[in-house]
A and B are shown apart, each in its own frame.
Chain A
Amino acid sequence: VKQVPAPKSKTGRLKNPFVKVEDRSRRYRPFYLQFHIFPALNYSVPKPCSPFEVEKKLPSAPKQTQPKQRNKPNSDKDCGTPLHLPQKDKKKRGYCECCGKKYEDLYTHLESEQHQTFAQSTEYRIVDEIISKFVYQFVEYKDDAKKLKRTKCST
């Protein structure tokens, strides 16, 4: 389990320029961002681009959406943790709200016993209740192509 790094390491004075936000109740951790360069309006960026568009240094544009920053205040990471992006992943990773579980590969997770149990459970009656009120207004296509498709499906 990766634990939140000790906040100690980042105590002291913040470097200019920065923005620091704290709840006036003083009951919560302040969060802050130290900028390399404070944002400024740039009128010479061509339309329709943002006037806050960062000058492009590299040809690979998407990188620029991630400015260097010392911390990512609103993540669960502690203040001072350098922003870390996971490696690109071909698999569909994510979080399942049904199982309350992180998964590495979506399709594997969907087929897991836990998820399948949930998928076939009565948890969805809240959805079905709403569906039951809809008026079905479709007519079936009598289409050979579709019938072919159907036989392909393992239903």
Chain B
Amino acid sequence: TAGMKKDIERLYEAVPQLVNVFKIKEKIGEGTFSSVYLATAQLQTGHEEKMALKHLIPTSHPLRIAAELQCLTVAGGQDNVMGVKYCFRKNDHVVIVMPYLEHESFLDILNFLSFEEVREYMFNLFKALRRIHHFGIVHRDVKPSNFLYNRQLKEYALVDFGLAQGTPDTKIELLKTAHSEDQQESCLQNNSTMPLGNGMSVNVTVPKQIAQQSASKPSDKKFISHSKIQIKEEREGKEGSVHHSVQRSVFGERNFNVYSSTYQQSSSTKVIKHSKMIDVSSRKLVTKKKIISTKALNNGTARKAASGCSLNLICDCYATDKVCSVCLSRCQQVAPRAGTPGFRAPEVLTKCPTQTTAIDMWSAGIIFLSLLSGRYPFYKASDDLTALAQIMTVRGSRETIQAAKTFGKSVLCTQVVAAQNLRTLCEKLRGTNSSCKRSQGEVPSKSVSESTLPTAADKLCAPDTLGKQIQHLKNIQEGDGALEMKAADMKGWDQVPDEAYDLLDKLLDLNPATRITAKEALQHPFFKDMR
């Protein structure tokens, strides 16, 4: 891997302070906005320790870099939230040094975890989320590759605040400049903001001042908030079509071999390329928007046209299958969308401008859904409305439409799909339910990584369950399950308690206002005896 060596050389060159401090071993992740390296360092305590060096793309704005650092320093280092050891900078090159946590690839272990391990995993995820939500951080990109898991050590770490946003009352000062985008609504605002780059040159060294300034000078506020939105939009773009991509989570997974067990060797490279393409397209869009914005500012008629949006042109298309020149000529609503499509909450997918920490809880619910069903990624969507449609097929179209009303969205869907019973759904998908196995015919061989074979530990099973297991065993043997034998056991999967599905239901609450919080989740009966 000459490429990797070259990258390491380049990093040493870009940030020479690293030279005598770190032995950089390898690149362990690469995303569009950063690369992560594994290195060792000699500490003053006398120990040599493994470190993760996150090299941010030098095009990152200092405000973004600082905000990420502040999340790590203020909220991190505790309760399963990644902390920071140090940070090096030379000009535009910034390297964040974090403790290295050896971790599993979610996909590799998904179907080998015991039910108890799943319970612990979720409990520890909620601990991390409670921690960051307490500080008013909306992570926006909660997914397995951003939640490091060391199965042996039972250690966990929530990573990557590169997309984080502040709640209106966030305790992270540097996220405060960004939160006003929640109020972002009118067309006029969208179109009258200055181009991003200049916008970002607002003096940001004293964030408190900005907040005050912006209160008195509304234009400044828009300025910042819109800039933020644009950054977010272009940032999320890279995940655009690679739903299960690990692009964003450069420390989260060993992106180079995360698919090794399931996909052909070359696929990860393809995925990376692919996502870069998407990224390029989304960045282009930002620029396009920028040009339009500039026009709107400089040109009187354009400005009129922009403000025309607020004239609130009504047509008959609302809530019908029609679109016309009137409704289509209105401007697009701007709402934060950063994140990964398959993990986005319905209010994100429908562009609800006010988004809260509840979006992270939805994402946690998607992780839980993966764990319970043995499927990852669970949702496979390249765009927001496909993702929404997939959510409807699980949670019900009527239910989704109804919940969307509560956050101000009219959703029309030609397909009427019933909500699934979560237990039935998960058991069928996991294959714990033998009747379903039969009905679906033989399981395709090889690619199936079965985890559900009876072991000695399951001797106490009810005869009925045992029967199922035997049937199951047969199914596997008929397939090509021999390889999976060693990892296979029921490990509690034959008796998943109702509490699990009750909690899942509360996480996948379509209404963000009633969706369970991290604090509440930790108190949920599913975790009784864990606290």
CB within 8 Å of A: which B45-84 residues? 45, 57-66, 69-70, 73, 84
CB atoms of B279 and A24 under 8 A apart: no
The answer to whether B351 touches A74 (Cβ under 8 A) is yes
CB–CB A39/B393 < 8 A: yes
Nearest-neighbour CB distance to chain B for A96, whole angstroms, equals 4
Interface assignment of B285: CB less than 8 Å from any CB of chain A: yes
4 closest A-B pairs (Cβ-Cβ)?
A: A100-B197, A7-B328, A119-B92, A33-B385
Q: Is B388 part of the contact surface with A, judged by Cβ < 8 Å? A: yes
Which residue in A8, A29, A102, A146 is a CB contact (below 8 Å) of B330? A29
Given the known interface contacts A50-B380, A52-B380, A79-B328, the answer about A43 and B12 at a Cβ–Cβ threshold of 8 Å is no
Contact status B312-A127, CB under 8 Å: no
B195 interfacial by beta-carbon distance below 8 Å: yes
Q: Is the CB of A62 within 8 A of B393?
A: no
Q: Are A78 and B328 in contact (CB under 8 A)?
A: yes
Q: How far is the CB of B385 from chain A (nearest CB, A)?
A: 4
List B293-350 residues whose CB lies under 8 Å from chain A.
Answer: 309-310, 312, 314, 317-319, 321-325, 327-333, 337, 350
CB within 8 Å of B: which of A95-124? 95-103, 106, 109-110, 115, 118-120, 123-124
Give chain A residues whose Cβ lies under 8 Å from the Cβ of B388: 19, 21
Q: Which residues of B contact A89 (CB under 8 A)?
A: 276-277, 280
Least Cβ–Cβ distance between B453 and chain A, in angstroms: 14
How many angstroms between the C-alpha atoms of A115 and B70 in the bound complex? 24
The residue that A97 contacts in the complex, of B12, B59, B270, B292, with Cβ under 8 A, is B59
Query: Hey, what's the 0/1 contact readout for A123-144 against B, CB within 8 Å counting as 1?
Result: 1111111110111111111110
Could you say which of B20, B44, B201 contacts A146, with CB atoms under 8 Å apart?
B20
Q: Give which listed residue, A19, A30, A95, A123, contacts B389 with CB less than 8 A.
A: A19
Q: A31-B385, A40-B393, A134-B86 are in contact. Are A74 and B337 (CB under 8 A)?
A: yes
Would you mind naming 7 contact pairs between A and B with Cβ atoms under 8 Å apart? Answer: A38-B389, A39-B390, A65-B380, A66-B382, A74-B337, A94-B57, A118-B92
Q: How far is the CA of A98 from the CA of B62 in the complex (A)?
A: 8
For residue A2, CB closer than 8 A to chain B, the reply is yes
Q: Does A13 contact B (CB under 8 A)?
A: yes
Q: How large is the interface on A (under 10, 10 to 19, 20 to 34, 35 or more residues)?
A: 35 or more
Q: Which residue of B lies closest to A154 (CB)?
A: B13
CB neighbours (8 Å) of A109 from chain B are 59
Query: Which residues on the B side are within 8 Å of A153 (C-beta)?
Result: 12-13, 16, 19
Within 8 A of B (CB), among A11-33: 11-14, 16-33
Residues of chain B lying within 8 A (CB to CB) of residue A134:
73, 84-87
A10-B328, A131-B69, A150-B16 are known; give 4 further A-B pairs, CB within 8 A.
A20-B321, A48-B111, A110-B58, A126-B204
Expressed in whole angstroms, the minimum distance between the Cβ of B318 and any Cβ of chain A is 6
Tell me if B's interface is mostly helix, strand, loop or mixed: mixed
Q: Is B291 an interface residue (CB 8 A)?
A: yes
Given A21-B350, A21-B409, CB of A140 within 8 Å of CB of B20 = yes
- Are the C-beta atoms of B393 and A102 separated by less than 8 Å? no
Interface: B447 (CB within 8 A) = yes
Contact check, A93 vs B280: say whether CB atoms are below 8 A apart. Answer: yes
A18 engages B273 (CB within 8 Å): no
Give which listed residue, B63, B243, B281, contacts A84 with CB less than 8 A: B281
| A49 and B110 alpha carbons, distance in the complex (Å) | 11
Judging by beta carbons under 8 Å apart, are B89 and A128 in contact? yes
Contacts known (A66-B382, A115-B92, A146-B20); A26 close to B312, Cβ less than 8 A: yes
Smallest CB separation, B295 vs chain A (Å): 9
The distance from the CB of A102 to the nearest CB of chain B, in whole angstroms, is: 4
Partner of B430, one of A23, A47, A93, A94: A47
CA distance A44 to B111 in the complex (A): 16
Q: Given the known inter-chain contacts A74-B351, A150-B19, A150-B20, please indicate yes or no for A21 contacting B410, CB distance below 8 A.
A: yes
Supposing A25-B408, A69-B383, A125-B205 touch, asked if A76 and B289 sit within 8 A by C-beta, the answer is yes
Q: Which of B379-403 contact A (CB under 8 A)?
A: 379-386, 388-390, 392-394
The distance in angstroms between the C-alpha atoms of A22 and B428, with both chains bound, is 35
> In the complex, what distance in Å separates the CA atom of A30 from the CA atom of B23?
53
The answer to whether B200 and A26 have CB atoms under 8 Å apart is: no
Q: Does B119 contact A (CB under 8 A)?
A: no
Q: A12-B322, A75-B282 are in contact. Are A46 and B443 (CB under 8 A)?
A: yes
Q: Using Cβ atoms and an 8 Å threshold, which residues of chain B touch A40? A: 393
Q: Are B420 and A41 in contact (CB under 8 A)?
A: yes
Residues of A within 8 A of B211 (CB): none
Q: Once the chains bind, are B441 and A12 in contact (CB under 8 Å)?
A: no
The one of A25, A49, A100, A150 in contact with B198, judged by C-beta atoms closer than 8 angstroms, is: A100
Contacts of A54 in B (CB 8 A): 380
**Residues B25-43 near A (CB distance < 8 A):** 32, 41-43
CB distance from A113 to the nearest CB of B (A): 13
Residue from A27, A35, A154 within 8 A of B312 (CB atoms): A27
CA distance A131 to B15 in the complex (A): 15
Bound form: Cα–Cα A7–B330 in Å:
10
Select one of B60, B283, B318 contacting A93, CB under 8 A: B283
Which A residues touch B111, using CB under 8 A? 47-48
Known: A41-B420, A141-B23. A94 touches B283 (CB 8 A): yes
